[in-house]
A and B are shown apart, each in its own frame.
Chain A
Amino acid sequence: DTEVTQTPKHLVMGMTNKKSLKCEQHMGHRAMYWYKQKAKKPPELMFVYSYEKLSINESVPSRFSPECPNSSLLNLHLHALQPEDSALYLCASSLEGGGSRNEQFFGPGTRLTVL
Chain B
Amino acid sequence: SQQGEEDPQALSIQEGENATMNCSYKTSINNLQWYRQNSGRGLVHLILIRSNEREKHSGRLRVTLDTSKKSSSLLITASRAADTASYFCAPTPNDYKLSFGAGTTVTVRA
- With a cutoff of 8 Å between Cβ atoms, the chain A residues found around residue B1 in the complex are 45
- With a cutoff of 8 Å between Cβ atoms, the chain B residues found around residue A42 in the complex are 88, 100-103
Interface pick from A11-19, A65-73, A106-114: A106-114
Determine whether the beta carbon of B98 is less than 8 Å from that of A104: yes
Asked if A56 is at the interface (CB within 8 A of a chain B CB), the reply is yes
Tally B residues with Cβ within 8 Å of A. 25
CA gap between A111 and B42 in the complex, in Å: 11
Interface size class of A (residues with CB under 8 A): 20 to 34
Identify the closest chain A residue to B42 (Cβ): A106
- With a cutoff of 8 Å between Cβ atoms, the chain B residues found around residue A105 in the complex are 45
- With a cutoff of 8 Å between Cβ atoms, the chain A residues found around residue B48 in the complex are 103
Determine whether the beta carbon of B100 is less than 8 Å from that of A100: no
Asked if B64 is at the interface (CB within 8 A of a chain A CB), the reply is no
Where the two chains meet, the residues of B that have a C-beta atom closer than 8 Å to any C-beta of A are: 1, 30-31, 33, 35, 40-45, 48, 50, 88, 92, 94-103
